[in-house]
Each structure stands twice: as C-alpha cells, then as structure tokens.
Amino acid sequence: MDEEQIANFVSAYLKKKGFKETEQAFQDELRHNKTNSSSSASSIDLDFAKRLLSFSEVENIPARYLEGYSKLRSWAYNSLDLYKHELLRVLYPVFIHCFMDLVAKGHIQEARTFFNRFREDHEMLHLRDLQKLEGVLSPSHLEEMEFAHSLRQSKVNIKICQYSYEMLLQYLHKTQTTVILGIINERINFQVFPGQPSSISDDAELVTLSGSTQETANQINKKEVQWGLLEDSLEERLEKAAGLLSDSEKAEVETKDGDVDENKKRTTEGGKQGASIKKVKKDKTAGAPGKTLRAEANSASMAPRVKPELALPIITTEVEQSILEDLRNRVQLSSVALPSVSFYTFINTHNGLNCSSISHDGALQVWDMAKLGQQAGNTVLQDENDMSTSDPVTGHTSGKRSYTLFQGHSGPVHSATFSPIGDFVLSSSADTTIRLWSTKLNASLVCYKGHNYPVWDVQFSPVGHYFASCSHDRTARIWSMDRIQPLRIMAGHLSDVDCVQWHANCNYIATGSSDKTVRLWDVQSGECVRIFIGHRSMILSLAMSPDGRFMASGDEDGTIMMWDLSTGRCVTPLIGHTSCVWSLAFSCEGSLLASGSADCTVKLWDVTSSTKPPRTDENKSGTANRLRSLKTLPTKSTPVYSLRFSRRNLLFAAGALSKSASTA
C-alpha cells in the first residue's frame, strides 16, 4: 500500500466522520508536502493508518449492527429457561438503540430493514413505542421527536440476578461484538441482585423505559403527600350524627381485626402530622355480617383529615340533605356482600360510540356517537360532532324523544363527566375545546379553550366547580367553571396524557400517560409530587379510593396496579383482564374495586385483602397470594366503556354491543 492510497483512506475516514476542518487541514498538508521537494517522505504511520481504516470499516458498516444483534438474540433465546426471561429483557433496549444509531449515522434504508426484521419480537410488550419509532426517518427526527430524544439521553434500568449478569458479561467478552458492547455499556444500567432470578409474572418494574429514571422518581416520591380526607366533609357530618361506637365495641372490633391497628399506624405515619384518627362509625345497616366487616367497610373514617387548598363551593341545604339521605341508605359491600349491577348496552352503534358516562345517582347518562341514525328503545345514535344526554327513567325532554341532543363541538367527543349534583355536564373533544352544558337548560354555557391538541379526558372534582383535563399536548390543566382560562398547567409527561382523576380531598390530581407512567400533582403549586413507574403500556383509566390513600390504574394490556400514595409504591398488580382496562371504580366504602375492560367483562376485586402488607411467614410466592378477584361478570359481546358506583353502592356499567368483540 503506497502513500497515496494511505492518504486516500485517511481522507475518506475523516469525510465519513464529518470532520471537515480536519480533512481540509490534512489535504493542505499533503499539497504542501508534494510541492516541497526537499521535504522528507510523509510521516504517516502505515500501521496506524491500517488500524484507522479497519476501525472505520467496523464502525460504519451497518452489517455489524445486524450481525451483533442477531448473535445476541440467538444466544438469549437458546439460554436455559431459568434465566432466559431475564436475558431477553436486554434485547429490546439494544434493538431500539441499534436502530437509532443506524439512523443517526445516515444508514436509513439499512435501519428500516433492521427494524422490520426484528420488530415482531417486541410488539407484544412495546407496540406503542415501536409505532412512535417507526416514524423516525432521518437523523433530524431523532432530535425533533421528544420520545426518541429522551431515550438517547437517558439509560434504561434493568433488574437482573447476579448469575444472569455474569453470563451476559462472559458472552460479550467472548464474542467481542464492539457495537453491541458499546450500546450495553452506554445505554443500560443493570441493577444486579443476589439469589434466584425473579419470576416472569412479577417483573412489572424490572425494565424501566422512561425519560424519568427510577432514581428521579425515588427523589420525587420522597415529598410529603397529605392523602387524608377533607375536614368537615359530608361523610364526617353523617358519622358524627350517627354516633360513635362505645369503648367496649371499639375494643372488640380492634381485637377481632388486628389489621385495623396496622392500618391506623400507617395512616398516622403517612398522613398529616397531628391529624386525629377518627373512630369507626356505627353500622346501622340491617343484616351486616358483623363488626369485622364494619371495621373494614369504614376504613375512610380512620383516614387523617386535611385542609383544602382550593376555595370550595358552598353546597345548598337541599342538595346536602339529598346526599346525606343517600349515604344513610348506602349498602355496605364486602367480599361476601357483592353489589347489584345495572348494565346499559348500546346497540346498532356501528363502532361509533366514543365515550359514555353515568351520573352519581344513575338517573342520567351521557354518550357520544359517531353517526346519525334512528332511535331504537333507549339507544341514541347521532352525529360525531354531537353529545347526547338522556334520562331513561323519566324521559328528560319534552315531546316524544327520551333524550336531549346537545350540539356544539366540531369534532368527536372523547370524554364526558357529570357534576356531583348532576346539573352540569362537561365534554372534551378532538376540536381541542371543553364545553360546559346545563342539564336543566339543555344548552351549552361555556366553551373553554387552552389545549392545542385533542382533549382526551375531562373530570369534575368531587365537590364540583373545579375540573381537570388532559390532552395530546402532553399536559393536564385545572379549570374552574367561572373562568375561561386554566388555573394550573401540569407539564412533565413525555407523551399523551390519556386520563385524569381527582383525589378525594381535591388537593391532588393524578394523570395517566402513554409514556407508561402515572403522576400525582399538587393542585396549588402545580408540582409533581409522585411518579408511579411499573406499567408496560399506556394508562387508560384511574380511580382513587374513598379514604384517599390508594390509587388504581389500568393499562392497555389489561393490567391493573394498586398504588400506595404515601410511599409511591405498587401494593399489588391485579392480573386477570386480557385486553384494555377502560374504566375503574371504587365502591363508596372502598372495600371493592370494579374494573371494566375491552375483553367484555366486569371484574370485582377485594381491595381489603389486596392492600394488606404481606406477612414474612406466609408463602413467599411473590404477590400472587395477595391477589383476589371476587367475581367476573361477562357480557355476551359488549366491551365495558364506563363504570360508576352510585352513592348507595349500586354499580352502573355501560358499553356498546360489538360483533367483533370476544368474551374472556
């Protein structure tokens, strides 16, 4: 190899790397050496040039990525079954970073070939991520797309046992695949633990693919959260009016249910300092199973009391008496006393039902349709730009129609919610607006504009007047009925904010996102005070327990996770649904959780047993021994869109008949 060839190789390498100034200086030096006849031969080291050329070829040939990943994939799939599921966790982050590295280096066609060849391996767990990355077609897209940019800026946390980690290191050193070794070293943070590999069914938090790393979440989750109930609430007034248990009865209840004491200790530690623990109210419901049930059913009365951060609206005496009457006649539910269920099925919707909602007393329903058709029974079909409310019991409107047609949105309505009293309805639409409707005047009152993209969800606060919305613009916003501009804007999610839910004391809102995280926000400061990491797909539904301590979240894969707001940790995953969990609802005393899914079932879960801490002397089989599904209520072919417990603990559900749906 002569000097001219060496110079050409070096020049080609500098050009590939984009070192324009260095290449220009190198060319100037070559020209200077040629014109200077007295100068000595070029001082370029032959061996160094060859090594430089070899390194250039290894680094820039796309085939190296394909070959390295293929070998790692084959090795992982051929590993022992005991360790295979842990080693397979490494493949996905390596896959996406190989793809993004190829795009960043300008090998667009090779990147697409690589992506399409191996994407099927990861579609089951990471379909949403793959759909986003599929749109990356140039190096500039990596910088412009926030999701891709966040992946390249942060590491992936993977939990793995010591032996699996050592096997992976041995493989990497043996094969000497520098490309894969570099990606793993730069992009993955291994959290190695001693002992046996974790079980496949208990690895919800073992792979964290999020811009917010677990360390960041841990720091945020150290902030204090006053999760108790509001002072002087209606439930507290009813409790005082009903009287308190005598000391002997209270002692008997605490003796029979030792877990109540544990719960009191935890509430004292997690709640506001100095908040008094309320006594258990007397259960006057006839036929109650016993004092143990009463202690479990009234866990909300043991929650600490906190002051509101928002100025709360005044409730009229008439409305207050109506609510108190419902609370007095509430049916106490438990694992042995399941609720009655009233299910509303919409037929002939032609896949046009976007959303549905039920009022607190079950007398009113609201839904959005995509097509205009004929009324059949209690089914209403309408244009995609409309929202409709109806009273199926009394026929809320005049004339022959048993429904009221509300028109105003210029796009599909994605969510609707009733005020606690039922006199107002909020709707959010793809037209980026939120509308306030009066059920008494049957008219639109206000159009709220603030979001820049479709608004996926809107929810009234438990006391009315205030409401929260979330959007494709990756923000959530807090509004009040008397102002057309938002009071607070919550920004921090890396993708769409798909659902929003108020805390029982109105001091916090929770948001679920397509970035697979749930966040808890302080409504007064707009600050994120909790990040919940563990879901593997987008979060579609949220629910808060009546005592304000626990939160449930449901995702696209059918997984429900129960979170402790005081610690920010997952208490237990609830596994059972086989498709999207579209709706969640706690019973009024908090002993049961209802979940509605696209798998055409409503499931009832025992919250009391699921939220108890595991005992050290129990069977160490993960959290499976604490999961308790009480009952599955299948529909013939109706995905469940919405759920609502009335104040008297009757469970309402609604969905649209779907010929393509299959029962669980």
Q: For 106-117, what is each residue's pLDDT tens digit?
A: 888 999 999 999
Residues 9 and 113 in one domain: no
Mean of pLDDT values over 254-262: 45
Residues 2 and 91 in one domain: no
**Rounded distance, CA 441 to CA 424, Å?**
10
Residue position matching structure tokens 């002569």: 2
Residues 20 and 80 in one domain: no
Do residues 211 and 154 lie in contact, with contact meaning Cβ atoms separated by under 8 Å? yes
pLDDT band at 664 (very low <50, low <70, confident <90, very high): very low
pLDDT band at 661 (very low <50, low <70, confident <90, very high): low
pLDDT band at 660 (very low <50, low <70, confident <90, very high): low
Q: With a cut of 80, say whether residue 154 has pLDDT above it.
A: no
Q: Facing residues of 460 across strands?
A: 467
Do residues 546 and 586 lie in contact, with contact meaning Cβ atoms separated by under 8 Å? yes
Quick count: other Cβ atoms within 10 Å of Cβ 102?
Answer: 21
- For residue 566, being part of any structural domain is answered with yes
Q: With a cut of 60, say whether residue 626 has pLDDT above it.
A: no
547 phi, psi to nearest 5 deg: -85, -5
Quick one: tokens of 16? 């590939």
Residues 13 and 137 in one domain: no
State which amino acid sits at residue 194. Answer: P
- For residue 331, being part of any structural domain is answered with no
Residues 25 and 64 in one domain: no
Angle between helices 63-77 and 108-118 (to 10 degrees): 10
Residues 494 and 352 in one domain: yes
Quick count: other Cβ atoms within 10 Å of Cβ 154?
Answer: 17
Distances (CA, A) of 425 to 370, 398, 417, 435, 445: 19, 19, 6, 8, 10
Q: Facing residues of 517 across strands?
A: 533
| Nearest CA among 588, 576, 582, 606 for reference residue 654 | 582
CATH code of the domain in which 121 resides: 1.25.40.500
Angle between helices 91-104 and 123-133 (to 10 degrees): 20
Q: With a cut of 80, say whether residue 25 has pLDDT above it.
A: no
- For residue 264, being part of any structural domain is answered with no
Quick one: tokens of 97? 């970073």
Q: Is 645 helix (H, G, I), strand (E, B) or coil?
A: strand
Q: With a cut of 70, say whether residue 374 has pLDDT above it.
A: no
Residues 83 and 17 in one domain: no
Residues 16 and 77 in one domain: no
User: Where does a domain end: 157, 175, 194?
Assistant: 194
Q: For 211-231, what is each residue's pLDDT tens digit?
A: 445 667 777 888 888 888 887
Percentage above 90 pLDDT, the chain: 26
| Nearest CA among 121, 89, 91, 88 for reference residue 207 | 89
Residues 21 and 163 in one domain: no
568 dihedral zone (left: phi>0; alpha: psi -120 to 50; beta): left
Strands of the sheet with 560-564, listed across from one edge: 539-544, 550-555, 560-564, 569-574
Angle between helices 91-104 and 146-153 (to 10 degrees): 110
Q: For 463-489, what is each residue's pLDDT tens digit?
A: 889 999 999 998 999 999 999 999 999
Residues 533 and 649 in one domain: yes
**Residue 212: is it exposed, middle or buried by C-beta count within 10 angstroms (0-12/13-18/19+)?**
buried
Quick count: other Cβ atoms within 10 Å of Cβ 246?
Answer: 10
pLDDT of residue 433: 94
pLDDT band at 362 (very low <50, low <70, confident <90, very high): confident
pLDDT of residue 297: 41
Distances (CA, A) of 256 to 299, 337, 408, 614: 15, 19, 57, 19
pLDDT of residue 58: 47
- Strand runs labelled E in 117-260: 156-161, 188-193, 207-208, 229-230
Q: For 278-303, what is each residue's pLDDT tens digit?
A: 333 333 333 333 333 344 445 555 77
**Rounded distance, CA 480 to CA 461, Å?**
10
Q: With a cut of 90, say whether residue 460 has pLDDT above it.
A: yes
Do residues 98 and 183 lie in contact, with contact meaning Cβ atoms separated by under 8 Å? yes
pLDDT band at 322 (very low <50, low <70, confident <90, very high): confident
pLDDT band at 264 (very low <50, low <70, confident <90, very high): very low
Average pLDDT taken over every residue of the chain: 76
State which amino acid sits at residue 461. Answer: S
**Rounded distance, CA 389 to CA 371, Å?**
16
Domain assignment of residue 159, given as a range: 60-194
Do residues 545 and 591 lie in contact, with contact meaning Cβ atoms separated by under 8 Å? no
- For residue 236, being part of any structural domain is answered with no
**Rounded distance, CA 291 to CA 610, Å?**
20
7 phi, psi to nearest 5 deg: -60, -40
DSSP 372-398: ----BTTB----TTEEEEE-TTT--SS
pLDDT of residue 122: 86
Do residues 473 and 455 lie in contact, with contact meaning Cβ atoms separated by under 8 Å? no
Quick one: tokens of 619? 């069977």
- For residue 176, being part of any structural domain is answered with yes
Q: With a cut of 50, say whether residue 662 has pLDDT above it.
A: no
- For residue 105, being part of any structural domain is answered with yes
User: Where does a domain end: 194, 222, 241?
Assistant: 194
Residue position matching structure tokens 């004491």: 261
Do residues 429 and 386 lie in contact, with contact meaning Cβ atoms separated by under 8 Å? no
Quick one: tokens of 55? 């390194």
User: Where does a domain end: 161, 194, 227?
Assistant: 194
Residues 504 and 453 in one domain: yes
Number of domains in the chain: 3
Cα radius of gyration (the chain): 30
The region of weakest confidence among 247-256, 459-468, 508-517 is 247-256
162 against 327, higher pLDDT: 162
Do residues 428 and 457 lie in contact, with contact meaning Cβ atoms separated by under 8 Å? yes
HEC assignment per residue over 256-314: HCHHHHHHHHHHHHHCCCCCCCCCCECCCCCCCCCHHHHHHHCHHHHCCEECCCCCCCC
Do residues 663 and 600 lie in contact, with contact meaning Cβ atoms separated by under 8 Å? yes
Residues 12 and 141 in one domain: no
- For residue 254, being part of any structural domain is answered with no
pLDDT of residue 278: 34
Please give the DSSP secondary-structure letter assigned to residue 482. Answer: T
CATH code of the domain in which 591 resides: 2.130.10.10
Quick one: tokens of 17? 């790397």
Q: With a cut of 90, say whether residue 367 has pLDDT above it.
A: no
Q: For 46-101, what is each residue's pLDDT tens digit?
A: 555 555 555 555 455 788 889 899 999 999 999 988 888 888 889 989 999 999 99
- For residue 617, being part of any structural domain is answered with no
Do residues 98 and 64 lie in contact, with contact meaning Cβ atoms separated by under 8 Å? no
264 phi, psi to nearest 5 deg: -65, -40
Query: What is the longest distance spanned by two Cα atoms in the chain?
Result: 112
pLDDT of residue 436: 94
